[in-house]
């Protein structure tokens, strides 16, 4: 997703996350005109919020345990 976030960071995450199978990482990468979610690896997930000009909105709630 080089247009939504930093490709260099993505490359590093793709390289290191397989070494941490017991860890789960979710990357929140801002917003575009269409919301999206993808599991890049079984423990690496990416979420992008949707946006509409002049209509800001809450995307979701983040629960920290």
What are the structural domain ranges in the chain?
A: 7-50
Residue 22 confidence (pLDDT): 97
What radius of gyration, in Å, describes the C-alpha atoms of the chain?
13
Residue 25 confidence (pLDDT): 94
Which of left, alpha, beta for 30 (phi over 0: left; psi -120 to 50: alpha)? left
pLDDT digits (tens, 9 = 90+) for 1-55: 555 567 888 899 999 999 999 999 998 877 677 788 999 999 999 888 888 888 8
Residue 23 confidence (pLDDT): 97
Tell me the CA end-to-end span of the chain in Å, nearest whole number: 28
* 58 pLDDT higher than 90: no
């Amino acid at each position: 997703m080089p247009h939504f976030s930093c490709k260099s960071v993505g490359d590093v995450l793709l390289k290191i996350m397989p070494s941490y199978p017991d860890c789960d990482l979710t990357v929140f990468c801002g917003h575009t005109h269409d919301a999206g979610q993808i599991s890049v690896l079984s423990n690496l997930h990416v979420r992008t919020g949707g946006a509409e000009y002049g209509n800001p909105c809450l995307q979701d709630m983040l629960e920290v345990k």
